[in-house]
């Protein structure tokens, strides 16, 4: 007589197991597709704005660039931190830049306002810069204890004239950056050092770097301030080590104002 494997009951059980396995695999695949779709949908316009604000925050330096190309770049410190939040949810960041050797004397201070791009625009995040009414009150804002900083309501009251706006979009696949963008064609009005307008390019990289290229142009389109070699590359602050104490950057000759002005803005734009 035949074995149990040849009986009708055994064949049915085997087929049933195959069917159940196929159904289970189909459910797993279908569930995975739904999960991916849900995760994609969960990244909202405000999530992108918060990601940009987080990436901009912190202490970053152009030390490596200055070491490699001291003729075109200075060792600058960029420091940014949250200052307050507007009623509509827009984040307000305080931003300052200073020479590495004199962090207590920033030469550029701004408020950044970060929010999603308007729905009708093809971008993800709108980053606008504003002047500060009393910059002296905000020097080293991020380095101070919170109870010694201007409070949120004061920050809102001290947001002065609009300076620039950069529209950022997610970077395409294969790129090193997360977000990149620039000011609109034609830039924004600017009268510093003979300029008629200024432009800015910004990219946020996966390794925490921030690349910024600010330039000023006269009425004829000639660049009158800003670096010409390329953007400043600010990298997250490294841990201090023994070698940094003896870096040539720490013992360089005094900088001339002429050189500073030709390669970087040291005054309000």
Q: What is the mean pLDDT of residues 76-88?
A: 97
* Greatest mean pLDDT range, 6-15, 182-191, 236-245, 257-266: 182-191
pLDDT band at 86 (very low <50, low <70, confident <90, very high): very high
Q: Is position 38 within any domain?
A: no
Question: CA-CA distance, 50 to 54, in Å (whole number)?
Answer: 6
Residue 263 has pLDDT above 70, yes or no: no
Q: Is position 170 within any domain?
A: yes
Residue 178 has pLDDT above 80, yes or no: yes
Token pair of 136, please?
């002296």
Q: Determine the structural domain holding residue 98 and report its residue range.
A: 45-187
Q: Is position 147 within any domain?
A: yes
Residue 158 has pLDDT above 80, yes or no: yes
Residue 20 has pLDDT above 70, yes or no: no
Given a contact cutoff of 8 angstroms between Cβ atoms, the answer to whether 198 and 215 are in contact is: yes
Instruction: Output the pTM of the full model.
Output: 0.74
Q: Is position 1 within any domain?
A: no
CATH number at residue 69: 2.40.128.590
Given a contact cutoff of 8 angstroms between Cβ atoms, the answer to whether 92 and 85 are in contact is: yes
Q: Is position 223 within any domain?
A: no
CB burial of 35-51 (b: ≥16 within 10 Å; e: otherwise) equals eeeeeeeeeeeeebbeb
Question: CA-CA distance, 97 to 112, in Å (whole number)?
Answer: 13
Q: Is position 194 within any domain?
A: no
Identify the H or E element spanning 39: helix 8-42
DSSP state of 73: -
Q: Is position 16 within any domain?
A: no
Q: Is position 26 within any domain?
A: no
Q: Which of 21-30, 91-100, 186-195 has the lowest mean pLDDT?
A: 21-30
Structural domain count of the chain: 1
Question: CA-CA distance, 66 to 58, in Å (whole number)?
Answer: 20
């Amino acid at each position: 007589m035949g074995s149990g494997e040849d009986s009708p009951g055994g064949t049915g059980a085997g087929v049933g197991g195959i069917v159940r396995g196929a159904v289970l695999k189909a459910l797993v695949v279908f569930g995975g597709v739904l999960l991916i779709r849900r995760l994609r949908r969960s990244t909202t316009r405000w999530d992108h704005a918060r990601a940009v604000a987080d990436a901009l925050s912190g202490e970053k330096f152009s030390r490596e660039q200055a070491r490699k190309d001291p003729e075109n770049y200075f060792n600058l410190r960029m420091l940014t931190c949250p200052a307050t939040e507007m009623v509509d949810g827009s984040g307000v960041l305080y931003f300052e830049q200073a020479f590495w050797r004199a962090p207590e004397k920033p030469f550029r201070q701004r408020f950044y306002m970060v929010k999603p791009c308007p729905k009708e625009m093809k971008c993800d995040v709108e980053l606008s810069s504003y002047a500060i009414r009393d910059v002296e009150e905000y020097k080293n804002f991020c380095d101070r204890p919170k109870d010694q900083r201007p409070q949120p309501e004061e920050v809102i009251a001290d947001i002065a004239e609009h300076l620039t706006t950069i529209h950022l979009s997610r970077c395409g696949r294969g790129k090193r950056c997360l977000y990149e963008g620039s000011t609109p064609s034609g830039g924004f009005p600017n009268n510093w050092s003979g300029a008629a307008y200024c432009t800015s390019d910004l990219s946020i990289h996966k390794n925490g770097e921030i690349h910024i290229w600010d330039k000023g142009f006269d009425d004829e389109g000639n660049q009158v301030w800003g670096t010409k070699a390329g953007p400043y590359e600010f990298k997250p602050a490294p841990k201090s080590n023994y070698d940094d104490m003896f870096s040539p950057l720490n013992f360089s000759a005094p900088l001339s104002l002429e050189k500073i002005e030709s390669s970087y803005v040291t005054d309000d734009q």
